[in-house]
């Protein structure tokens, strides 16, 4: 009843002000405004400023000069930059694949029923929330070639001592081990969400048809959790590309530059050499790499969903 009386008044009011008559809608913009101001200041302003700095040559304490695309040209010919790109690619690929496989496995286990399930899941989730730097320091001690507990554990099963993060050829896998330890639970949680929505009936008929466990997983579970796996891949990729705390705290990109990812090289350029202009150009490229990556992954995801629907 009330709406009948309000709406014409509102329409008349608007008409009186010369606006088009429209449905009375609560004004939501005042709610969004403060956040827009803050986001403008701490997020959008830095983006624009970085873009501007990237076309200048400026080392802190020295003269700033506009140099156009010089920084980007320098970047294209910078071997250390391309190497860091390669490290990032390897690091990211491994840090997506390993948690994806282990996380799915964990989800299949935790989807079942067993004693203390809630508690064990709580323990499993802890690494994800733990402070990365603190974790990294303890891993560093565990990786110690002589005194570390990991080499001792390996010796128990007859495997020789490894140099872990202290060797150029094993440093990235060792870091990925930490990353996997930390982020496998996230994949588990995401896949667990997918498994919760899986219907029972197809499994019952599959059992009648005599399908084994692997066949049930491959032909029933996997297609149904595929969209969730894709979400896991997207989130994990974006996080792994940006990974900083663990790498910086454990190796600072070393030994040499063997574990220097784009993020670490960017940090060194901007805050060790104070080469602000060049660092900004790197930040801009890095930004677009991440945007491109997420765009590609979302396209893949959209396609997966679509083909999924077609099958049904």
Partner 1 sequence: MIPKMTHRMWNRLGLFFVALVMISPVILFFVWMISLSLKYEIDNGAYPPILIPENIAWSNYAKVFEENNFLLYFWNSILVTGAATILALVIGVPAGYGIARLKAEKAAMVIMIARMTPGLSFLIPLFLLFQWMNLLGTLWPQIIIHLVVTVPIVVWIMIGYFETTPKELEEAASIDGATSWQVFRLVALPIAKPGIVVAFILAVIFSWNNFVFGIVLASRETRTLPVAVYNMLSFEQVSWGPLAAAALIVTLPVLVLTMFAQKQIVAGLTAGAVKGG
Residues 211-240 that bind partner 1 (CB under 8 A): 228, 231-232, 234-235, 238
Q: Does 94 bind partner 1 (CB under 8 A)?
A: no
Rounded least distance, CB 69 to partner 1, Å: 18
φ and ψ of 261, to 5 deg:
-90, 175
Q: Which two tokens stand for residue 29?
A: 């913009």
Measured distance CA(210)–CA(86) in Å, rounded: 47
Nearer to partner 1, 103 or 171 (CB): 103
Token output for 279: 């660092």
Alpha carbons 227 and 101: distance in angstroms, whole number: 15
> Judged by CB, which is closer to partner 1: 131, or 169?
131
**Stretch 163-222 residues interacting with partner 1 (CB under 8 A):** 181, 186, 189-190, 192-193
Whether the CA torsion 26, 30, 36, 38 is positive or negative: it is negative
Tell me which stretch binds partner 1 (CB under 8 A): 76-84, 138-146, 158-166, 201-209: 138-146
ω before 255 within 30° of 0 (cis)?
yes
| Angle at CA of residue 92, ends 248 and 170, nearest 5° | 65
Q: If binding is defined by CB under 8 A, does position 91 make contact with partner 1?
A: no
Among 57, 92, 95, 263, contact with partner 1 (rule: CB under 8 A): 263
Sites for partner 1 among residues 12-51 (CB under 8 A): 26-32, 34-36, 38-39, 42-47, 49-50
Interaction of residue 63 with partner 1, rule CB under 8 A: no
Site membership for partner 1, residue 161 (CB under 8 A): no
Contact call for residues 221 and 198 (beta carbons, < 8 A): yes
């Amino acid at each position: 009843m009330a709406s009948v009386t309000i709406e014409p008044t509102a329409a008349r009011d608007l008409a009186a002000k010369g606006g088009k008559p429209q449905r009375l809608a609560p004004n939501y913009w005042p709610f969004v405004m403060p956040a827009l101001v803050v986001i403008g200041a701490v997020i959008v302003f830095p983006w624009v400023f970085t873009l501007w700095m990237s076309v200048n040559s400026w080392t802190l304490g020295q003269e700033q000069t506009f140099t156009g695309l010089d920084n980007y040209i320098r970047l294209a010919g910078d071997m250390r930059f391309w190497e860091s790109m390669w490290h990032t690619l390897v690091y990211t690929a491994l840090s997506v694949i390993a948690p994806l496989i282990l996380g799915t496995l964990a989800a299949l286990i935790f989807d079942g029923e067993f004693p203390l399930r809630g508690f064990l899941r709580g323990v499993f989730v802890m690494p994800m929330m733990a402070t990365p730097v603190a974790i990294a320091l303890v891993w560093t001690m565990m990786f110690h070639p002589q005194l570390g507990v990991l080499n001792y554990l390996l010796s128990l099963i007859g495997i020789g001592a490894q140099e872990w993060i202290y060797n150029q050829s094993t440093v990235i896998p060792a870091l990925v081990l930490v990353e996997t330890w930390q982020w496998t639970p996230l994949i588990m949680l995401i896949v667990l969400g997918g498994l919760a929505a899986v219907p029972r009936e197809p499994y019952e008929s599959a059992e009648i048809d005599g399908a084994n466990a692997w066949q049930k997983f491959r032909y029933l579970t996997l297609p149904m959790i595929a969209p969730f796996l894709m979400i896991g891949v997207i989130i994990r990729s974006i996080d792994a590309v940006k990974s900083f705390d663990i790498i910086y705290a454990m190796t600072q990109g070393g030994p040499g530059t063997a574990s220097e990812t784009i993020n670490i090289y960017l940090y060194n350029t901007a805050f060790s050499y104070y080469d602000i202009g060049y660092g900004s150009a790197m930040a801009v490229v890095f930004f677009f790499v991440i945007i491109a990556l997420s765009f590609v992954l979302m396209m893949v995801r959209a396609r997966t969903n679509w083909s999924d629907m077609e099958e049904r």
